[in-house]
Amino acid sequence: MAENSNHGMNRRDLLKATGAAVLVGGLAGCVGDDDADEPYEIGMVDSLTGTLEPYGERNERGSELALEHINDVGIGDDDRGLELSVQDDESLPEPAVDAARVLVEEEGVPLLIGSVGSGASMGIHESVIQGTDTVHISQNSTGAVLTEEPDLLRTSPSGAGKGGHLANLISDDGYDEVALTYVNNDYGVSLRDVFEENYDGDVLATVAHEEEEPSLSAEVSEMEATGAEAWLFITYAEEFIVFVNEMYDRGLHEEIQFYGAESTIADSILENTPEGSHDGMVGTSESAPEDSPVYQDFESRFQDAYDTSPTVWACYTYDAVMLSAIAIHVADEFDGPAIMDVIRDVTNDPGEVVNSLEEAKEIVDSGGDPDAINYEGVSGPIELDENGDPTGAYQVYEVQSHEYVWGDVLT
């Protein structure tokens, strides 16, 4: 899933060095402000370094394209700009909390987008956001546990759906026993729980592993001892590379059917494992609506800008930024309570479907209120529910000849 490109490396190097960046943008809507010539500023916590850095790179690209559109159109009567102040979470919960504190407590942003890892997003929400008026949107976190925090909004769907699809996939393939390993954090634990609740067969082992472990030999041995012919990996790219190479050295790739989720897809996995080491692996991942004209237009712009296709994670980030701009445009004030009061409304019926800030502005300029807008993004319909969760689609993938091949779409 990772996109490997030198585009934007200077900016990313700066982000790693300073921990923050401001991306150009603009924001002004129905709100009024004495600083009408100044852009509005919102914040983002992103994984610019660490094990989830590939997501951060994708997010940077998605946010850049969103800001480009927003700043071309402008928000509100003054057509002001949007600046996105970005802090690095180092792919870990504690730095994520520190990063969010800078944005919320020092910079005073009324809206925070963040973050990638579910543990990071939960840490931000519980330690920084709760008790404040700041609106919180996660751009990439899929952990089912986030549903328990209805004010923690997100543009990527809950892992509850993905876990159910994984359970059905393994059962439908004829396996009534499975060994499972999961990364020991909020993402891994919540997806493990959802899978176990939905799987009709027997889970012979649930083996926890930590992030950034240089060796996972003991975990492989524990799973091998179960005798299960199907193994499920709920982990990240770096850890999966370690697993694959260990299993390849033991010849287990010829004996075991591998299954995975969205985080076991990455260019870095293919680049750092032997060809044939996990051919036949099957999994499910979040999916963008590739037949949608809205997505196709985004894909074309993305290709022109970065010479590669977008991932669904770039789509989710684009939508998080665009949704933020639309909500601020129709809010009475540029503050957290006013934005939160409208942000669900602009993603749901009975509003007219819009796919951009420009289209939303046309409705507002004609006298429409938040209920008159229903933003459907490049990732598809958002439709934030009472738990802050969007709708979402998934797609089956398989590793064939050391490449990812996409199959059926699951809803």
Please check whether residues 109 and 172 belong to one and the same domain: no
Average pLDDT value for residue range 368-383: 95
Report d(CA 160, CA 179) in Å as an integer. Answer: 19
Q: Count CB atoms within 10 A of the CB of residue 251.
A: 9
Share of the chain above pLDDT 70, in %: 91
Position 207 in a domain:
yes
How does pLDDT run across 259-276, given as a tens digit for each residue? 999 999 988 999 999 999
Sole residue written with tokens 């490049």? 378
% of the chain with per-residue pLDDT over 90 = 83
Assess whether 127 and 210 both reside in one domain: no
Question: Per the domain annotation, does 135 fall within a domain?
Answer: yes
Residue 173 predicted with pLDDT over 60: yes
Q: Are residues 150 and 298 in the same domain?
A: yes
Question: Can you give the residue range of the structural domain that contains 349?
Answer: 9-158+292-381
Confidence band of 55 (pLDDT split at 50, 70, 90): confident
**How many secondary structure helices (H) and strands (E) does the chain include?**
13, 16
Average pLDDT over residues 179-202: 96
Distance of alpha carbon 239 from the chain centroid: 19
Considering the domain boundaries, does residue 321 fall inside one? yes
β-strands 373-377, 380-381: how paired? antiparallel
96 pLDDT more than 70? yes
- Residue 369 CB: number of other CB atoms within 10 A? 14
> Do strands 393-400 and 282-287 pair parallel, antiparallel, or not at all (unpaired)?
antiparallel
The arithmetic mean of pLDDT across residues 186-203, rounded, is 96
Would you say 234 and 261 are in contact if contact means Cβ atoms under 8 Å apart? yes
Q: Are residues 72 and 33 in the same domain?
A: yes
Domain shared by 237 and 272, yes or no: yes
374 and 310 in one domain?
A: yes
Question: Residue 65: which region, alpha, beta or left (left: phi > 0; alpha: psi -120 to 50)?
Answer: alpha
32 pLDDT higher than 80 = no
| pLDDT class of 30 with cuts at 50, 70, 90 | low
pLDDT at residue 410, rounded to an integer: 87
Mean of per-residue pLDDT scores for the chain: 91
Q: Looking at the domain assignment, is residue 2 inside a domain?
A: no
- The strand pair at 177-183 and 230-234 is best described as parallel
Q: Can you tell me the distance from the alpha carbon of 277 to that of 285, in angstroms, rounded to the nearest whole number?
A: 20
**Position 216 in a domain:** yes
The band of 13, judged by pLDDT with boundaries at 50, 70 and 90, is very low
- Examine the domain organization and report whether 272 and 344 are in the same domain: no
If 0-12 CB within 10 Å is exposed, 13-18 middle and 19+ buried, where does residue 79 land?
A: middle
Phi, psi for 290 (deg, rounded to 5): -65, -20
At 115, list the tokens: 């973050």
Q: What is the pLDDT of residue 238?
A: 93
Residue 63 reports pLDDT greater than 60: yes
DSSP β-bridge partners for residue 259: 232, 282
Confirm whether 387 is domain-assigned: no
The answer to the question of residue 203 being in a domain is yes
Instruction: Say if residue 258 is in the same domain as residue 201.
Output: yes
Same domain, 199 and 283: yes
CATH number at residue 192: 3.40.50.2300
- State pTM to two decimals: 0.86
- Mean pLDDT, residues 72-90: 95
Q: How confident is the model at residue 223 (pLDDT cuts 50, 70, 90)?
A: very high
Per-residue pLDDT of 110-164, as tens digits, reads: 999 999 999 999 999 999 999 999 999 999 999 989 999 999 999 999 988 899 9
22, 150: one domain: yes
Sequence-ordered list of residues with C-beta below 8 angstroms from that of 389, at least 6 positions apart, any chain: 146, 147, 154, 157, 158
Q: Is the CA virtual torsion 86, 1, 387, 359 positive or negative? A: positive
Q: Which residue has the higher pLDDT, 300 or 17?
A: 300
Q: How many whole angstroms separate alpha carbon 55 and alpha carbon 312?
A: 10
Residue 51: pLDDT band with limits 50, 70, 90 = confident
Number of domains in the chain: 2
* Same domain flag for 279 and 406: yes
Residue 140 shares a structural domain with residue 71: yes
The pairing of strands 393-400 and 380-381 is unpaired
Q: Given this model, what pLDDT does residue 9 score?
A: 36
* 4 falls within a domain: no
How many angstroms separate the Cα of 185 from the Cα of each of 120, 122, 251?
A: 10, 11, 29
pLDDT at 156: 96
Return the minimum-mean-pLDDT range out of 17-21, 184-188, 378-382, 394-398. 17-21
pLDDT at 357: 97
**pLDDT of amino acid 28:** 34
Query: Does 254 have pLDDT greater than 60?
Result: yes
